[in-house]
Structure 1
C-alpha cells in the first residue's frame, strides 16, 4: 500500500529544506520529539510520548510503506545522527553512558508484545471471514452472480491476509495460532480498534454490505477519481515539556491503549503495528551493534528476524486466487505484506484499485471497500463520470458512489437467516443441532489445515479447497430450513464442542 498517510505534518526542524520537500509535508508539528527521544528518554510525559508516537509512526510508516527508501535514510540519519538539542545525551559510541540515559526499552522483550499485537491482527482478519462467507452462502443459487463473485473474492483475500500475518509472526520466531478457542471471533463483536459499529453474521442485505463497507473503510478521505472515457460497451469489472519523573511508556498496555484510542480503520492498525515492529528492530540493532541504525539497509535483516524460513507459506504453496502471497524473512517482507493487505482493503497509491493499474498489463482489481460499494449502490465504478465529484487535483471523496454500468442486485434472493445464530438456538431441534455441529467441525478442519501449514506443513493447505466446498453445502443446508415463523437457521462459526 503506497497511500500518502500524512498530509498535515512536517519533518522536524533539523531536516533541511530539501528533505522537507521530499517528505511532502504541509503543516507543522511544533517541537516534535526526535525519534531517539521517543524511544529512549524516560523523562518525557505520557502526553508527549503519545504525540511523538503519532508523529513518528505516521512519518516512518509513510516513508517505508510508500517505498521512499532514500527519504527514509535521510529521516533515520536525522533522528539518530547527532545529539538531541534538549536532552544532550552522551555520544552514542559510549554505550554504558547512553544506557544510563535511555529508558528501559532495551530491557523489554519484544516477543510477548508482538505476539499480542500480531495475534490481534490475525483476529481482525479472521473476524471478517465468517461474516463474508455467511452473506455469500445466503445468496440463493442462480441469483446475484456478480455480487457473489465480489464477496467470494474478498473472503478469499482475507484468508490470504491471515496467512501472511502468520508469515510475519513466523519470521520473528512467534508461533501463530488460528484454530484455538481463544482465536475464534464471537459475534456480534467490535473490531479491536476505536470503532463504533458491530460486525455480525447476517444474510446478504443492504445492512450486511454496509457493515462490510465500514470494515474496509480507507484511512484517507480522498481518492483519485477514475479517468472518464466515453461509455464502453463492456466495462471492465475490476480493471512538550520534559517531566522530572522517570517513566517507561513502552509497555503492552500503553501500546494497545494507543491503538484503542487513535486507530479507526484496519489500515491504520497495520500502520501502527508496522511502526512497533520497526521500533523493536531498531532496538535489536542497537543491542547488537551498540549504535543506532543510519539506513534501511542496516535495519532490514537480522535483529528480530530469527524465524525458520521453512515455516513460511510461499506463493506456490497457496491454494487461493486473488492477491499475492509474500514470504517474510526481513523487514522488506513485512513491508510487502502490509502493502498487499492495505492495498487490497482500502486501495493503493490513493486509488480505488488494490495496486497501481498502470504498472500491470492485466490491470488491477478494486480494493475491498470499493468492491462492496459497487454492490451496495448497484453500479460499477469503471466507466462512470466522476468529474462532478472531483477537485482540481482529480481527487474525490471516498464516499463518492459508483456511477458506472449498472450492477444488478436482487436483495430478496437470499435466505432470511436469523442474525448471529448460536448453537443454543438449535437445542430443541436435533436435526438442526447436528447440522450446525457438523458445519462448525468443518470450519475447524479448515482452520486446522491452515494451522498445520503455518507450523511447517504447507501441503495441508491443499485440503482447504475441499473444506470450502463442504462449508457452502452445509451452510445452505442450515439456511434453507426455518428456525421460527420468520427466520431460518444459519451457520454459527463457533468452536466445536462434544
Structure 2
C-alpha cells in the first residue's frame, strides 16, 4: 500500500482490502488522514449550493437544511482530527496535493462512479450530494453500494476496538457547537467509549440508522439524516411513514419547492482560467480573494491540531481564526455568482476552492 498522500489516490479502497489483522497503528493513522480528506471534500459542493440560494429564500427550509448539514460536516472533521491526534498522528490539510480537486471523485476511491463538482443548487446537484451520503442499506431507494463512507468508518471503529491502548488523548481540540445539534460539539477523545460515540454520531447524522431515516442527533426536532434530507429536496416532497406493518417510508409528504438560485456554472478542472474560460480583472480579483481566505482557513485548521495547549496562539484561538476565514468566503462567492460567464449561456462564475500559498 502506498503511503504517499495524494487527494486522487485509491488509498481508502486499498486500506479496506487489507485483512483486519493488518489494521494496526499505521493503518489507523492512514485511514484517519483519508477520513479528514473525505470530510473536507463534502464542504465545497454543499457551500456552493447554499450560497447560490437567492433572497427571499436564503432563510427558507432548504437553505436551513443545507446549512445544518454543513455544520454537521465541520464538526465531523473536527472529531476525525481528534481521532488522529489521540493516537499520535498529525492531520495534513493545507497542501496542494491534498486539497479536494473538482470535478472529480471523492478521495481514496470511495464511490468511484461518482463525480463531485462545484455548481449552483439544482436537482442534479442535490442528487450528487445525496450520493455522497448514501448508506449501504437506506430505508428507501435501496441499492448496492461499494466502499461507502459508512462502511469505511465501520472498519476504523473496529481497528480502534482492537487497539484501545493507542488512544492517548493527545492534542485534543474542543469547541462547543451544540447550538447546531446534540452531537455537534467537537469533544476530547480520551477513551474507546469517546471514539465509539464520535463515530456513531458521524455515521448516523449522515446515514440514519438501519430502521429509521431520522437524525438521532438533530439540530431541530424531526431532522432527517443527511442522505434523506437531500433526497427530500431532490424529490420535492417530505419523506413520511406510509406503512407501519411492514414499516415503509416514501416521499409522499408535503411539497418542498426548490428555492430561487443564481445559475452558477460548473467549475472546470483546475479552475475557470485554467479551464480555458476568459476571466476579467474583476472576476480574477474575486477569485483571488476567495482562494486566499480558503487557503488561509486550511492553514489555520492544520495548525490547530499541531499546537499544544501552552502554545501561543492556542489551539482554540487557531480554530477561531479558521472559522473567521471561513466567514469571509461567502461575500466573494456570492459576488462571483452575479458575474456572468462570457459564453452567453446565462450561467455565472462561482468559487473555485483552489489552494494557494500564503502571500508575503
TM-score (norm 1): 0.59
Q: Which runs of 5+ in 1 are unaligned?
A: 1-49, 58-104, 224-261, 282-299
- Aligned partner (choices 166, 170, 173) of residue 304 of structure 1: 166
CA distance in 2: counterparts of 1:221 and 1:141, whole angstroms: 34
- Aligned partner (choices 45, 50, 55) of residue 131 of structure 1: 45
CA shift in 2, pair 1:221/1:146, >3 Å: closer
Give, in angstroms, the shift of residue 117 of structure 1: 1.2
Aligned-residue RMSD, C-alpha: 2.9
Q: Which runs of 5+ in 2 are unaligned?
A: 1-15, 308-314
The SS at the match of 2:166 is coil
Matched, 1:208 2:125: yes
- Aligned partner (choices 160, 164, 179) of residue 277 of structure 1: 160
CA shift in 2, pair 1:51/1:493, >3 Å: closer
CA distance in 2: counterparts of 1:268 and 1:312, whole angstroms: 25
- 1:13-28 to 2 correspondence within 5 Å? none
Does the Cα contact within 8 Å between 1:343 and 1:354 map onto a contact in 2?
Answer: yes
Larger Rg: 1
CA shift in 2, pair 1:483/1:431, >3 Å: same
Give the corresponding residue for 2:84: 169
Give the corresponding residue for 1:372: 230
- Aligned partner (choices 282, 288, 300) of residue 431 of structure 1: 282
Give the corresponding residue for 2:295: 444
- 1:55-134 to 2 correspondence within 5 Å? 110-134=24-48
Deviates more, 1:109-118 or 1:328-337: 109-118
Give the corresponding residue for 2:310: none
The SS at the match of 2:232 is helix
- 1:137-286 to 2 correspondence within 5 Å? 137-143=51-57, 145-191=60-106, 192-222=109-139, 263-279=146-162, 281=163
Deviation per CA, 1:57-105, whole angstroms, max 9, x where unpaired? 7xxxxxxxxxxxxxxxxxxxxxxxxxxxxxxxxxxxxxxxxxxxxxxx7
Matched, 1:496 2:360: no
Matched, 1:467 2:325: yes
Give, in angstroms, the shift of residue 195 of structure 1: 3.6
Give the corresponding residue for 1:73: none
Does the Cα contact within 8 Å between 1:190 and 1:199 map onto a contact in 2?
Answer: yes
CA distance in 1: counterparts of 2:322 and 2:242, whole angstroms: 41
Aligned residues: 322
Matched, 1:416 2:245: no
CA shift in 2, pair 1:278/1:385, >3 Å: closer
Matched, 1:346 2:229: no
CA distance in 2: counterparts of 1:141 and 1:454, whole angstroms: 37
CA distance in 2: counterparts of 1:469 and 1:142, whole angstroms: 21
Give, in angstroms, the shift of residue 212 of structure 1: 0.7
The SS at the match of 2:340 is coil
Deviation per CA, 1:39-74, whole angstroms, max 9, x where unpaired? xxxxxxxxxxx9995xxx7xxxxxxxxxxxxxxxxx
CA distance in 1: counterparts of 2:193 and 2:26, whole angstroms: 22
CA shift in 2, pair 1:209/1:483, >3 Å: same
CA distance in 2: counterparts of 1:471 and 1:221, whole angstroms: 34
CA distance in 2: counterparts of 1:109 and 1:211, whole angstroms: 31
Deviation per CA, 1:178-207, whole angstroms, max 9, x where unpaired? 222222010112122244111111111000
Deviation per CA, 1:333-384, whole angstroms, max 9, x where unpaired? 2211110000100103621112188xx9x74521001111221122223xx4
Deviation per CA, 1:383-412, whole angstroms, max 9, x where unpaired? x4512xx6x34244xxx32x22222224xx
Does the Cα contact within 8 Å between 1:427 and 1:433 map onto a contact in 2?
Answer: no
The SS at the match of 2:180 is coil
Does the Cα contact within 8 Å between 1:111 and 1:174 map onto a contact in 2?
Answer: no
Give the corresponding residue for 2:4: none
The SS at the match of 1:407 is coil
Does the Cα contact within 8 Å between 2:178 and 2:184 map onto a contact in 1?
Answer: no
The SS at the match of 1:386 is strand
CA distance in 1: counterparts of 2:172 and 2:272, whole angstroms: 36
CA distance in 2: counterparts of 1:460 and 1:52, whole angstroms: 36
Give, in angstroms, the shift of residue 426 of structure 1: 5.9
TM-score (norm 2): 0.80
CA shift in 2, pair 1:332/1:377, >3 Å: same
CA distance in 1: counterparts of 2:222 and 2:83, whole angstroms: 25
